[in-house]
């Protein structure tokens, strides 16, 4: 004897996003292209030249990452000192694009000529600032169009701005859905000993 509704012949599986579908294919194509380009350059200029190019990319990438990290720490400590002294209001100072500099260093450290070219391109200040503005606009647009109940909506709701510009981080806890306790029941025992 069965109860309830009969099982559905079609199961409702969620659709994979385009990123999850094409990202592995894109990474595989990028790796094949990097290896092919390394072999072409090694055939034309020699294997030792390719080794020196890759070694120079690793060293330059390490220098860029170290410099960007120091600059980020310096900017953070200066901002904290200025905010504590009251010289600059909170949220007034913008970062200098240290994240993109670190990404450029990481791309330089990854073995391959295409990643090195992209890393060198990110070291050019106008390219870095244009990419930063584009990324900021894209993220802001996605945050504003977030549907209720999504992760983007949660981030948008967590930022509460006061009229004086102060940002208060927090979350709202609704206490009105608490189950009523019985009168004859004593205090509840602890969950864990």
The number of CA neighbours under 13 Å toward the Cβ of 91 is 8
Gap between the Cα atoms of 171 and 60, Å rounded: 44
Each residue of 74-105: pLDDT tens digit?
988 888 888 888 765 555 445 567 888 999 99
Match 């990438």 to its residue by tokens.
Answer: 61
How high is the pLDDT of residue 16?
75
Mapping DSSP to helix (H, G, I), strand (E, B) and coil, where does residue 5 land? coil
State residue 124's pLDDT score: 92
Q: Residue 71 burial (CB < 10 Å; 0-12/13-18/19+)?
A: middle
Distances (CA, A) of 157 to 130, 148, 161, 172: 28, 10, 10, 9
The pLDDT score that the predictor gives to residue 52 is 93
Q: Which residues of the chain have pLDDT under 70?
A: 1-13, 87-96, 146-193
Predicted TM-score of the model (pTM): 0.62
pLDDT score at 150:
61
C-alpha separations of 139 from 19, 23, 94, 120, 142 in Å: 17, 20, 16, 24, 5
Q: In 3-state terms, the chain is what percent helix, strand and coil (to 5)? A: 60, 5, 35
Determine the pLDDT at residue 8. Answer: 58
**pLDDT at 86 (0 to 100):** 73
Distance CA 71, CA 79 (A): 12
Q: What is the pLDDT of residues 97-128, one digit of tens each?
A: 788 899 999 999 999 999 999 999 999 999 99
């Amino acid at each position: 004897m069965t109860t309830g509704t009969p099982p559905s012949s079609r199961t409702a599986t969620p659709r994979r996003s385009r990123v999850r579908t094409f990202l592995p294919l894109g990474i595989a194509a990028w790796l094949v292209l990097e290896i092919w380009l390394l072999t072409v350059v090694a055939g034309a200029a020699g294997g030792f030249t390719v080794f020196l190019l890759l070694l120079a990319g690793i060293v330059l990438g390490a220098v860029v990452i170290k410099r960007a990290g120091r600059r980020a720490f310096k900017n953070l400590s200066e901002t904290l000192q200025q905010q504590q002294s009251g010289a600059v209001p909170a949220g007034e100072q913008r970062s200098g694009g240290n994240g993109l500099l670190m990404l450029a260093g990481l791309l330089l450290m990854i073995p391959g000529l295409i990643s090195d070219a992209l890393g060198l391109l990110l070291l050019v200040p106008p390219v870095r600032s244009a990419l930063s503005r584009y990324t900021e606009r894209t993220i802001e647009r996605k945050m504003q169009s977030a549907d209720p109940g999504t992760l983007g909506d949660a981030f948008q709701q967590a930022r509460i701005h006061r009229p004086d510009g102060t940002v208060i981080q927090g979350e709202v806890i609704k206490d009105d859905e608490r189950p009523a306790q019985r009168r004859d029941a004593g205090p509840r025992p602890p969950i864990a000993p």
